[in-house]
């Protein structure tokens, strides 16, 4: 009976998709299926394939044949066209609040390794050199660029949403930090409407025009991965690299918890606590490290700032996951790290 109901539901969904001829992407078992008019679908598949190649997540696809065709409408299995992240997470929802749009943008850009909560401050921190550069107005957007929707007011500009640009028709986004919000390939217009970006040229340029009357507007960035940056800068001390590996391990732990919904084991709690303390110890030791202190001030600011926001986000995600005491401890150590890091940067050249 359950299988029959599921089959009938699938038939109803398929019929509605074919009738509407509007973009729908959803999971069917292990497949990621895109349904749209055949002509639109081909354009989107090409953009998705280019995105996959741009982020070095696969070879993409070409000459894809539809699974089914009804008149001018087609359904395609696009699993081979998209990054593995999409195959794994399309339509997926975490078991707890936290993982959000800004984090997805940073993960898909290779800046962060794991799905978790990211603060607007963390998003803002990375949307600038050395990893990201703002696209100039008129500069062509590419699949994989980051879109940053911001609220504009007299008080200034505030981060509102982040997403991955694939084409003018399609984006990859998680609309919100709620556990009810899935990761999804969706139309660009759906993203813009969700975050109230007016369909006006001045509100959808590469850079936000503060003189416009756009209450919400979008800007676009092109980013390099953190690994690429670290590979280029051999002068970065091994202790910094070790610290980044430790924090990546802690992030992986809380990410798995966010999607399993299970409580952390006593061993996992101890590992996260030890990691936070080790990161603070690293900052204290760096004060007397000639190797670290000879780095340029802007480079120290980037490395220490990144560690600060990542440690802070671990505390936030632990709080969302119900790990109150560990979250409180992590937040306290983050504040202490921030104080030491600020002095390190101020005292540098």
Q: Tell me: the pLDDT tens digits for 130-143?
A: 999 999 999 999 99
Q: Return the pLDDT at 60.
A: 75
Q: How far apart are the first and last CA of the chain?
A: 72
As a whole-number percent, the residues of the chain with pLDDT over 90 amount to 84
pLDDT-derived band at 346, boundaries 50, 70, 90? confident
Q: Do 110 and 178 have their domain in common?
A: yes
Residue 214, in any domain of the structure: yes
Q: Do 189 and 253 have their domain in common?
A: no
Residue 72, in any domain of the structure: yes
Q: Do 171 and 285 have their domain in common?
A: no
Domain stop point among 189, 224, 259: 224
pLDDT digit string, tens, across residues 86-118: 999 999 999 999 999 999 999 999 999 999 999
Q: Return the pLDDT at 12.
A: 42
Q: Return the pLDDT at 18.
A: 40
Q: Determine the Cα–Cα distance for residues 240 and 46; give it in Å rounded to an integer.
A: 40
pLDDT digit string, tens, across residues 28-52: 999 999 999 999 999 999 999 999 9
Q: Do 176 and 117 have their domain in common?
A: yes
Q: Return the pLDDT at 63.
A: 81
Q: Return the pLDDT at 88.
A: 97
Q: Give the lowest-confidence range in 175-179, 207-211, 295-299.
A: 207-211
Residue 1, in any domain of the structure: no
DSSP 180: T
Q: Determine the Cα–Cα distance for residues 258 and 318; give it in Å rounded to an integer.
A: 9
The Cβ of residue 330 has, within 10 Å, a number of other Cβ atoms equal to 28
Q: Do 154 and 98 have their domain in common?
A: yes
Cα–Cα distances (Å) from 8 to 3, 13, 20, 35, in that order, read 9, 9, 18, 18
Q: Do 200 and 106 have their domain in common?
A: yes
Cβ pair 226, 110 in contact under 8 A = yes
Q: Return the pLDDT at 13.
A: 42
Q: Return the pLDDT at 348.
A: 57
Cβ pair 197, 185 in contact under 8 A = no
Domain stop point among 63, 85, 107: 85
Q: Do 162 and 280 have their domain in common?
A: no
Cβ pair 108, 250 in contact under 8 A = no
Q: Do 211 and 269 have their domain in common?
A: no
Q: Return the pLDDT at 20.
A: 44
Beta-strand ranges (E) seen in 38-169 are: 68-70, 73-77, 132-134, 146-153, 156-165
Residue 6, in any domain of the structure: no
Q: Do 295 and 214 have their domain in common?
A: no
Does residue 2 surpass a pLDDT of 50? Answer: no
Domain of 189?
92-224
Q: Return the pLDDT at 46.
A: 94
For residue 250 the two structure tokens come to: 């802690």
pLDDT, averaged across the chain: 92
Residue 4, in any domain of the structure: no
Alpha carbon 271 to its chain's center: 25
Does residue 15 surpass a pLDDT of 80? Answer: no
Domain stop point among 176, 207, 224: 224
Residue 11, in any domain of the structure: no
Q: Do 154 and 122 have their domain in common?
A: yes
Q: Do 246 and 210 have their domain in common?
A: no
Q: Do 44 and 142 have their domain in common?
A: no
Residue 124, in any domain of the structure: yes
Cβ pair 275, 250 in contact under 8 A = yes
Does residue 147 surpass a pLDDT of 50? Answer: yes
| Burial tier of 255 (Cβ tally within 10 Å: 0-12, 13-18, 19+) | buried
The count of domains in the chain is 3
Q: Return the pLDDT at 3.
A: 44
Cβ pair 126, 307 in contact under 8 A = no
Cα–Cα distances (Å) from 256 to 110, 153, 188, 260, 262, in that order, read 18, 38, 29, 6, 9
């Amino acid at each position: 009976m359950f299988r029959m109901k599921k089959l009938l539901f699938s038939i109803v969904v398929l019929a509605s998709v074919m009738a509407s001829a509007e973009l729908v992407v959803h999971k069917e078992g292990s497949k990621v299926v895109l349904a749209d008019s055949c002509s639109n679908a081909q354009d989107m598949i090409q953009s998705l394939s280019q995105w996959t190649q741009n982020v070095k997540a696969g070879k993409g696809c070409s000459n894809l044949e539809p699974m089914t065709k009804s008149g001018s409408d087609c359904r395609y299995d696009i699993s081979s066209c998209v990054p593995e992240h999409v195959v794994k997470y399309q339509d997926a929802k975490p078991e707890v609040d936290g993982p959000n749009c800004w984090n997805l943008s940073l993960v898909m850009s290779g800046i962060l390794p794991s799905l978790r909560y990211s603060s607007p401050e963390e998003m803002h921190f990375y949307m600038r050199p050395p990893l990201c550069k703002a696209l100039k107005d008129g500069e062509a957007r590419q699949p994989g660029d980051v879109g940053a929707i911001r609220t504009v007011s007299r008080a200034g500009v505030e981060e509102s949403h982040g997403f991955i640009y694939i084409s003018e028709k399609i984006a990859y986004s998680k609309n919100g930090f709620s556990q009810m919000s899935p990761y999804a390939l969706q139309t660009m217009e759906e993203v813009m409407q969700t975050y109230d970006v007016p369909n006006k040229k001045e509100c959808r340029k590469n850079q936000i025009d503060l003189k416009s009357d756009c209450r919400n507007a979008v800007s676009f960035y092109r980013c390099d991965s953190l690994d690429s940056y670290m590979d280029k800068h051999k002068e970065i001390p091994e202790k910094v690299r070790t610290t980044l590996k430790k924090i990546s391990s802690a992030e992986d732990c809380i990410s798995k918890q966010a999607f399993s919904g299970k409580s952390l084991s006593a061993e996992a709690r101890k590992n996260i606590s030890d990691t936070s303390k080790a990161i603070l110890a690293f900052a204290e030791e760096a004060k007397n490290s000639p190797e670290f202190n000879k780095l340029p001030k802007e480079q120290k600011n980037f490395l220490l700032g990144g560690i600060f926001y990542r440690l802070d986000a671990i505390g936030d995600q632990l709080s969302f996951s119900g790990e109150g005491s560990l979250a409180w401890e992590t937040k306290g150590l983050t504040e202490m790290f921030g104080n030491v890091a600020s002095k390190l940067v101020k005292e540098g050249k």
